Amino acid sequence: MNIIYALLSGNILVMLLNLGKKDAFIPAINKGAQGSLGAIMNTAAAVGFGSVARAVPGFQVLTDAIMNIPGSPLISLSIAVNVLAGATGSASGGMGIALEALGAKYMELAQQTGIAPAAFHRVASLSSGGLDTLPHNGAVLTLLNNTGMSHKDSYVDIMVTSLIMPVVATIVAIALASMGIY
């Protein structure tokens, strides 16, 4: 509820500070409401897709393959979160599905390997911001729609800042956590 109160307070403050432009209030509210519908629908679709993905038999095959990746369990966690975030087009959706399905297994691996659970959390958080911004991502589509840009005009910049950089940061985090620095 704090978010709702903050947004409502911000809207009221903007209206009070712009009483001279009160004829523009209703059109601005309508435009904002229309813009929010796309974001709401994209988020709902990602959550729904994640629920369906977990229910299909192939999800267990994917889970088994990811859990059997050789090397540090941080690597398999990173791949699991990235793959699911990419499939759902949602950072929170991918991380939520991965941790709901595999969180207990990774906590067990943290205890077995001596890697701090905080390192697993950091790697999962960083990993969720990698493949989630593939071209089908709801936030990317909303951004392009609201700015009037196209994938052709903007996706290289989006890819560098929200796909490549998080993947590089995740690799660095895995390396540091593997050295006991987290």
Domain ranges of the chain: 41-178
Q: What is the pLDDT of residue 46?
A: 67
Rounded to whole angstroms, how far apart are CA atoms 15 and 21? 8
Q: What is the mean pLDDT of the chain?
A: 88
Query: How large is the average pLDDT for residues 152-170?
Result: 93
For the cut 80, the answer to whether the pLDDT of residue 45 exceeds it is no
For the cut 80, the answer to whether the pLDDT of residue 1 exceeds it is no
Model-level pTM greater than 0.85? no
Q: What is the pLDDT of residue 12?
A: 92
* Dihedrals phi, psi of 35, to nearest 5 degrees: -65, -35
Residues 6+ apart with CB under 8 A from 173: 119, 122, 123, 126, 182
Helix, strand, coil % in the chain, rounded to nearest 5 = 85, 0, 15
For the cut 80, the answer to whether the pLDDT of residue 18 exceeds it is yes
For the cut 70, the answer to whether the pLDDT of residue 140 exceeds it is yes
Separation of first and last alpha carbons in the chain: 33
Q: What is the pLDDT of residue 33?
A: 86
